[in-house]
Amino acid sequence: MCGIIGYTGPRKALPILMQGLRLLEYRGYDSSGVALAGEGGLRTFKKAGKLEKLEEALPASSAAKAGIGHTRWATHGVVSDENAHPHLGPAGKVAIVHNGIVDNWVELKRELEAQGAVFASGTDSEIIAHLVERQLKDREPAEAVAAALSQIEGTYGIACVFADKPGLIVAARNGSPLAVGIGDGETFVASDPSAFSAHTRQAVFLHDGELVILEPKRWETRTLRGEKVDKRPETIPESAGQADKGVHPDFFLKEVYEQPQAVSRALGNGGRLVRDFGAAKLGGLDLEPRDLHNISEVVFIAMGSALHAAMVGKAMVEAWARIPARTEDASEYRSGVPLVKADALYVAVSQSGETADTIAAIKEIQVKGGRTIGIINAVGSTLARLCGSGAYVHAGPELSVAASKSYTSQIVACALLALSLGRARHLSLAEGRELVDELAALPEKLEAALVLRPRMEEIARSLKGASSVMFLGRGFMLPAAMEGALKLKELSYIHAEGFSGGALKHGPLALVGPEVPTFALLATGESFGKTLSNMSEVRARGGRVIAIVNGEEERAREAADEVVVVPSSIEALAPVIEAIPLQLLARAAASELGRDVDRPRNLAKSVTTE
């Protein structure tokens, strides 16, 4: 859940490491540090807090030509300078940075302390530095790292530098992503290739159980058992290194405004829509119409905003294809004993493609013989490689921790899958063409919805004194309500919950009062009238109701204190359009309260640990 960057080559390492850490800030962190390897040995600098704190502690310059850097998101041990990475071995012979969790750290620490080891931090990661340094007495660095990791149970992406071999970096992966950058007489390693893409677009991705040896003009990949692994560099997308806010004050707002273009890319700029046949073209699915016809069930596996997008996808599959569908919280699904069916389709939905719980769930499904595909944003990610087939959403880099354009693009990708299934089974040509037209019109409608920013900022100012905020929706709008609540609490830290209108009388109505505003999400269709009734119930008990509506404005005004109107659409696609005002609301509320919009406290962009 944190960031790693490493460099070895002819240039000074420190500026490159700091640039890489800046590009990894979006992942979320609470401390940072670097280790520099030079002729005088290893020097480490680390600080709790933002990168500015680390920069204050750094030397004015350093001649070191190799080093590693890290941004930490605390799991074991409080947020402190001591617990920040990198961690040194007791004799200062090795420095390591580590993403992941050492499951058997308590046993290992007790064993090492019984042998006289003294630890400088309260982290599980420092144990790796001790183990590697002990192995260095009898082994070369790569063999020492492999031997140390053989004692580790858990997940890791690690990078190590060595006092006695200052131009060498050894890195390894098990469950936490690592990419190697191949430059001209220089090499890099990072948890995300965006950290080095300004210097090279040639990358090699490590798989679990693999290790890489990096020197300026040489790199070699092996298994942890020492067997050589032949890999060829891939060219990463040019957009991978984009980290410019442009005219916007934060990445989140920039990415909200990028949604019309992101959704257009998810639609293949129209190339994924085939109006003549009223169908969608998703070549990456690797499924023929006959395969689509024989699917008995569709199961979406996801977490967070991706789970809400999948919930919309589930409703689309059932409405358009008449196939049973469900969504599964990946963390719960993989920890149980899932019943996997050979004729079902299992769909992993993820922005980063590195979500640990989703990866574990998909692996379990594959072990049990299930067919898996991915709806992923990050090209070359672990989930994309694991699933092997599916659809990239092409939302582009999303650097704010809170999802925006990836969420709406995921819904669109789910819609394309549902349309493909529907045309293979249930939808007529005319119905398919209608859906194609509605999807094609989405980018323009999203552009129109962005003009609501001043209105949502005005409403956000009224939330300052709210003790909680409720979001109501039915049918397709229930996941939209849940996502609206998630955005508000992520960014502003105001407590918010999304409920189904039908659940209101079963508990949530007890929260209603003047200090708890309610946002009701309405879309013309089956759920409209019942949601109006729920709004009246809230107002009858003194609650303030703000309606977000895509049609039938006058009816909504009768039951609401305020109404925000978005461009009209079919009910199934209303969650995409109504996401815009809710994102603008959350961002405005956060700004009013002085929150860090791009990096909310305690959260990380990519949850790569359980």
Pairing of strands 325-329, 31-38: unpaired
In terms of phi and psi (left: phi > 0; alpha: psi -120 to 50; beta: otherwise), the region of 602 is left
φ, ψ at 119 (rounded to 5°) = -105, 145
- From the list 93, 109, 254, 605, the catalytic residue is 605
In this structure, are residues 548 and 504 in contact, taking their beta carbons and an 8 Å threshold? no
Peptide bond into 86 cis (omega under 30): yes
Residue 2 annotated as catalytic: yes
Tell me the CB-side half-sphere exposure of residue 495, using CA atoms within 13 A: 6
Calculate the alpha carbon distances from 296 to 330, 425, 463 in Å.
Answer: 21, 11, 45
Longest dimension (CA), the chain: 80
Neighbours of 137 (CB within 10 A): 9
Which alpha helices (DSSP H) does 426-527 contain, by range? 429-440, 442-449, 453-461, 477-492
Neighbours of 343 (CB within 10 A): 11
Q: How far is CA 537 from the centre of its chain?
A: 37
Question: What is the per-residue DSSP string for 164-184?
Answer: TEEEEEEEEEEBS--EEEE-S
HEC per residue, 344-411: EEEEEEECCCCCHHHHHHHHHHHHCCCEEEEEECCCCCHHHHHHCCEEECCCCCCCCCCCCHHHHHHH
Residues with Cβ within 8 Å of 381's Cβ and at least 6 positions away in sequence, in order, are 177, 350, 352, 353, 354
In this structure, are residues 511 and 485 in contact, taking their beta carbons and an 8 Å threshold? no
Containing 305, the helix (H) or strand (E) segment is helix 304-316
Query: Which among 456, 421, 432 has a CA at the least distance from the CA of 294?
Result: 421
Report the residue count for the chain: 610
Residue 387 annotated as catalytic: no
Question: What is the per-residue DSSP string for 70-97?
Answer: EEE--SSS-SSTTTSSPEE-TTSSEEEE
- From the list 2, 160, 387, 414, the catalytic residue is 2
In this structure, are residues 539 and 558 in contact, taking their beta carbons and an 8 Å threshold? no
Containing 545, the helix (H) or strand (E) segment is strand 545-549
List 464's β-bridge partners, or say none.
Answer: none
List 95's β-bridge partners, or say none.
Answer: 88, 161
Query: Which residues are marked as active site?
Result: 2, 605
